[in-house]
Amino acid sequence: MALSAGICEEFLFRGLLLSSCLSVFNRHRLKYTLAACSSSVLFGLFHFVNALHQPLTRPSNRSFMPLS
């Protein structure tokens, strides 16, 4: 179950979002750079919004859960 969330997230951000950004910047000479940077910023914002809704101790607990 937890593995499917990561796979879906990678497919969404690396597959769909990056290819969409490439089509937006299609005629620009730096299309690969702009597409990679814009999709990275959106990826970061997506995770930043998630972090705003959790207490500060929550991410550290989530990091150590697979180890237990």
**pLDDT at residue 56, rounded to an integer:** 60
pLDDT at res. 58: 57
Question: CA-CA distance, 18 to 34, in Å (whole number)?
Answer: 10
Task: Quote the CA–CA distance of 18 and 25 in Å, as a whole number.
Answer: 11
**pLDDT digit string, tens, across residues 18-66:** 999 999 999 999 999 999 999 989 888 887 877 677 666 655 555 555 5
* Count of C-beta atoms within a 10 Å radius of residue 58: 12
65 φ/ψ angles, rounded to the nearest 5 degrees? -60, -45
**Higher pLDDT pick, 7 / 27:** 27
pLDDT in the model for residue 38: 92
Distances (CA, A) of 56 to 14, 30, 48, 62: 28, 38, 12, 11
